[in-house]
Structure 1
């Protein structure tokens, strides 16, 4: 099916594309329109992304086996490793998509939707402090999106980050790449996005409310 004849991308598909852009996918220029390429050792995550993208993506494939990874380590670095010491890498690629024209990286993501913010919280959010003062840290150090860009995205929606207020017992972070959101900012997320954040009920001390966990794409291990 040629790109011009494909159905329009749904809001959920676009949210997944934005999520992958923030997370660190690669955009490849194609003969017609760009494609997204994602590589990960977490096949379950890629299968979940594939399920959301639907027709817009090809099947998850094995990019490099554990055996190939071990062989490359031995040949390139003289390392004494076997396949048991390595992990396989899997890949996911979208079809050429006109909607990707103009996207080059995470800074081209200029808006957050409730679903996208829930996925980001589920991916990188951590509760810090005591339950009656729900402060949230978004750790983006493993993502391509910078701390500054994430702050700007939240600020564009009126969500406060990074400074103490009279209404919060805010525990600031000294780590580069971590966006600290005081309790006032958490309340603004609840009000503007309708996301209920309840870290006191999360035994793992992560901010993954039931609503976010239920909406975050899940796939069975293959």
Structure 2
């Protein structure tokens, strides 16, 4: 498995995919109504993916639902390392972190903003994710009850514990480290 494939697998596990143990080695199942999203996962996983398939047709379930699509990985011995789900991911690789920031990151503020990583609805515990960020040298800031993160009015907070906040300079350094531009996570000024 390549570093990119492993990073995508870890990202999917942190999001909460199904890990199947039907054969001698585990595989991963991903379900979504967003076929384009699954196509992107399929492209990134390459040979590890079995391709996109229609899982449930809206005509057979009910007219009010969308079609549900799925991709599965082939059974692979390296997936045994992730049998415990999101707690099995021990560190954040660049590929995993890049996928996370692209899908869950938002830069908030104009000149000196902060990066918010919204993990609401993800399988990974936000405290655990914050610890893995700290292992990479990035500390998150938290709400102090007055509308700002501790010690600086330029660090925007978020009221939810499941939304991690990186202060401006750490956010810029992290984006540089994983080769993402600010435009990827910020709206134009």
**Which TM-score bucket, shorter chain as reference?**
0.7 to 0.9
Q: 2:164 aligns with which of 179, 189, 198?
A: 179
C-alpha distance in structure 1 between counterparts of 2:165 and 2:76, whole Å: 35
Of the two, which has the highest radius of gyration? 1
Aligned to 2:145: none
SS at match of 1:46: helix
Aligned to 2:89: 109
User: 2: CA distance between counterparts of 1:145 and 1:199?
Assistant: 23
Take 2:27 and 2:95, find their aligned partners in 1: how far apart are those partners? 23
Deviating beyond 6 angstroms after TM superposition, the runs of 4 or more aligned structure 1 residues are none
Residue in structure 2 matched with residue 5 of structure 1 by the alignment: none
Q: Is the 8 A contact 1:135 1:183 kept in 2?
A: yes
CA pair 201-96 structure 1, distance change in 2 beyond 3 A = closer
Q: Given the two structures, how large is their TM-score scaled by the length of structure 2?
A: 0.86
Deviation, 1:191, is 5.7
Q: Please report the TM-score for the alignment, with normalisation by the length of structure 1.
A: 0.74
In structure 2, the partner of 1:99 is: 78
Structure 1 pair 177–21 and aligned structure 2 pair: CA distance change class (3 A):
same
Instruction: Tell me the residue number matched to 2:104.
Output: 124
Does the 8 Å CA contact 2:139/2:166 hold for their aligned counterparts? yes
**Partners of 2:135 and 2:176 in 1: CA distance:** 14
Tell me by how many angstroms 1:30 deviates: 2.7
Q: Where do 5+ consecutive residues of structure 1 fail to align?
A: 1-8, 71-82, 206-222
Distance apart, 1:10 and its partner CA: 0.8
Per the alignment, in what secondary structure is the counterpart of residue 182 of structure 2? Answer: coil
Residue 197 of structure 1 aligns with which residue?
Answer: 182
Label 1:195 to 1:167 Cα distance change in 2 as closer, same or farther (>3 A).
farther
User: Are the equivalent residues in 2 in contact too, given 1:134–1:199 (CA < 8 A)?
Assistant: no
In the alignment, structure 1 residue 40 sits paired with structure 2 residue 32: yes
Q: C-alpha displacement at 1:182, in angstroms?
A: 1.4
Structure with more strand by fraction: 2
Match of 1:90 in 2: 69
Asked if the contact 1:133/1:168 (under 8 Å) is kept, the reply is: no
Out of 126, 129, 134, the position equivalent to 1:155 is: 134
Aligned residues between the structures: 182
